[in-house]
Amino acid sequence: MRLHLASAAGNTFAYAWADEVPDSFDGPTWAKALCPRGRAFGLDGLFLMQRPGVGPWRMEHWDLDGGSTFCSNGTRAAFGLEGAPVKEAIEVDSNGASVRLRRDGSGIGIRMPEGEGTGLRPVPMPVWGALGGRPAAFGLVGNPQLVVEVPKVAEVDLATFAPPLRHHKAFPEGSNINVVELVGENEARIRSWERGVEGETLCCGTGCAVTAAWLAQRTGRGRWTLHTASGEPVTVDLQSRPGGFWQELWLSGPVRRIGEATPDAGLFQP
């Protein structure tokens, strides 16, 4: 079976077409076998895609730990694969999230989920406790995101700072943790620690979305460039709405088609 590899803003994903996988395919099991660094491909996630047809293009994503979650960067990168829809824009159902993909000057953009179940929410913990009084925000966009403003993202020991927050009792299902540093009127640096990966990733697209929504709410400026750990910036455009909601939140950035790989059967041995 062939895996198709692509990256978005530094994160690399494997993709399989549903009509090419064997009957034994099980998403969580395969993700846990194929993704880990050091003993497999070192991926940020695995996708199973349906062939394009009538209605939204459907796909499902699994994290390294086998959890099924919405992944914005992986969904963006899928649009650059051979066999993907050739349209300039298309509706997509990604892990049940209704999004839209488009080709634009930055590469490929994704319109994030909006409406009920998304948006900024009150930070569910005492800011002067776990967060040391730092400005912070919490939001939902297919997964939970905590954003903490810091003076310098490069000086944060994320491996020490993030896990206690990721597993904080305020988050029954855990949360991704993002640290952000303002570096200009419409620019910021960001680093992210993702649940499921249980480590720092080069760019968390949903984390960038919630971060930009918070910054837009604070400043009234709806366009942001976020400098990610990958060295590849992403741009976010959105319209803020009352109550912490947003509309037309687009995350755009580069994607790359990497190639194909054939997994060895030994990867699936315990």
| Residues designated catalytic | 71, 204
Spatial contact of 136 and 171, defined as CB atoms under 8 Å apart: no
Q: What are phi and psi of 147, to 5 degrees?
A: -120, 130
Q: Which residue from 223, 148, 155, 157 is spatially nearest to 184, judged by alpha carbons?
A: 223
* Tokens, residue 99: 């999004």
223 vs 220: CA distance, rounded Å = 9
In DSSP notation, 182-247 reads EEETTEEEEEEEETTTTEEES--HHHHHHHHHHHHHHHS--EEEEE-TTS--EEEEEEEEGGGEEE
CA atoms within 13 A on the CB side of 60: 13
Spatial contact of 251 and 112, defined as CB atoms under 8 Å apart: yes
Q: What is the DSSP letter of 45?
A: -
Helices (H), 51-204: 72-78, 158-166
H/E stretch holding 261: strand 255-261
